[in-house]
Amino acid sequence: MAPVAVATTPTATPVDVIKAGVGALNLGVEAADLSVYGQFNNTPATGTEFRVAPTKGDTRPALTIKEVLADDAKLKALGRLVSERGVVFFREAEITPDEQKVLVDKLGKFGGKPADSTLHIHPLTLPGSQHGDEISVISNQFVFDGKFKLDEKTPLKRVRGAQQWHSDITFENVPSDYASLVIRTLPQVGGDTLWASAYEAYDRLSAPTQKYLEGLTAVHKGQVFLDLASKLKVEVREHRGSPQNIGQDLETIHPVVRTNPVTGWKGLFVNRGFTKRIVELSPSESDAILEFLFDHVAANHDIQVRFRWEENSLAIWDNRSSFHAATQDVDGVTREGTRSVSIGERPYFDPASKSRRADLGARALA
């Protein structure tokens, strides 16, 4: 009998197989204590910012990104902080695009990423691009086709801010752990970036909803980049930072709730940018649940932080446990930056993992 044709939707890899490929977690080992440096949490849910100089209320010395880059003990502590807080900011951080690459790659390695996970090459990065394959240039010129031809309808053509929420490259089989961004050409005002905590998004769901979501998986697709590739008549790049990140379809399946291997905390892992449907549900159920979850992230501004860029500001985030969104509110001027994205491990849900709130609560009581 001829074999029955089976739909070729990729299947999720079992947790044990993924965990077996993950290296030793070294972020807690021989790590420095960064709490001795001036810093504050931007919001209770997410974001920690290092101060440039002591203040009256915070007399601790400043920590520079140069010191961190020169000292593996500090890098390990930074990686843990980024994974716990979702995003960490430095001001007056002079860092080259090459150093950005070293930074996120080392954070990933100390975090135990598989040996064959390197740095992401974006599907639309053209060979021979300005800063090499492993730096994405983030520019509003792409939105304006480089011409800045404005008319009175331009603001009406913008997508709504809430449409921008995503975590990076979740259409890859092996997406990102750490990423860093520096906006190098700045508007005087505008172009802020927002981050939201995926841990807190999970923690703010009721227990029955949490349980329900934990059994589900979702299809992620980089449709926006496929559309752009066909418009520009280019092929998407192959070999994008992992032997598993190949092919032209930019489509994969990930668990809806993901465990962060560094913190052991559960986070919501669907995003409006790339998550297309929940595999186990009917199309209308999937649409309704995803819409609720996307709105849950965008509408709860108390799980977010909004960051205003200045010259030499640096953001470092953990894509496994946070979402972010650009703000398209600058029209006539260039806003341009460099981003480096480390490839981490294949996403998994570990049923033994904890909620951030429960874990921090237990630690506070201990």
Ligand X SMILES: O=C(O)CCC(=O)C(=O)O
* Interatomic CA distance for residues 42 and 51, integer angstroms: 11
Q: Is 339 a known active-site residue?
A: yes
Q: Given the residues 80, 122, 166, 272, select the one marked as catalytic.
A: 166
Instruction: Tell me how far, at minimum, the Cβ of 326 lies from Fe ion, in Å.
Output: 7
Q: What are the structure tokens assigned to 238, written together?
A: 């192959």
State the binding partner of 172 from Fe ion, ligand X, none, CB within 5 to 8 A by kind: none
Q: Is 220 a known active-site residue?
A: no
Is there binding between residue 339 and ligand X (CB under 6 A)? yes
Instruction: Tell me how far, at minimum, the Cβ of 186 lies from ligand X, in Å.
Output: 11
Q: Is 295 a known active-site residue?
A: no
Q: Given the residues 220, 240, 339, 346, select the one marked as catalytic.
A: 339
Is there binding between residue 168 and Fe ion (CB under 5 A)? yes
CA-to-CA separations, 196 to 90, 237, 345, in angstroms, rounded: 18, 29, 21
User: 61: helix, coil or strand?
Assistant: coil
Contact criterion met (CB below 8 Å) for 123 and 249: no
β-strand partners of 339: 136, 181
Q: Is 166 a known active-site residue?
A: yes
Q: In what order do the strands lie in the sheet with 193-197?
A: 304-307, 193-197, 322-326
Within 146-185, the residues that bind ligand X by CB under 6 A are: 168, 181
State the binding partner of 22 from ligand X, Fe ion, none, CB within 5 to 8 A by kind: none
State the binding partner of 105 from ligand X, Fe ion, none, CB within 5 to 8 A by kind: none
Instruction: Tell me how far, at minimum, the Cβ of 180 lies from ligand X, in Å.
Output: 9
Which region, judged by CB under 5 A, interacts with Fe ion, from 39-47, 80-88, 168-176, 239-247? 168-176
Is there binding between residue 105 and ligand X (CB under 6 A)? no
Show Cβ contacts of residue 119 under 8 Å, excluding neighbours closer than 6 positions. Answer: 101, 104, 105, 134, 241, 340, 341, 342, 343
β-strand partners of 197: 322
Tally of residues, the chain: 366
Which residues would be at the binding site for ligand X (CB under 6 A)? 138, 168, 181, 193, 324, 326, 339
Which residues would be at the binding site for Fe ion (CB under 5 A)? 168
Active site members? 166, 168, 324, 339
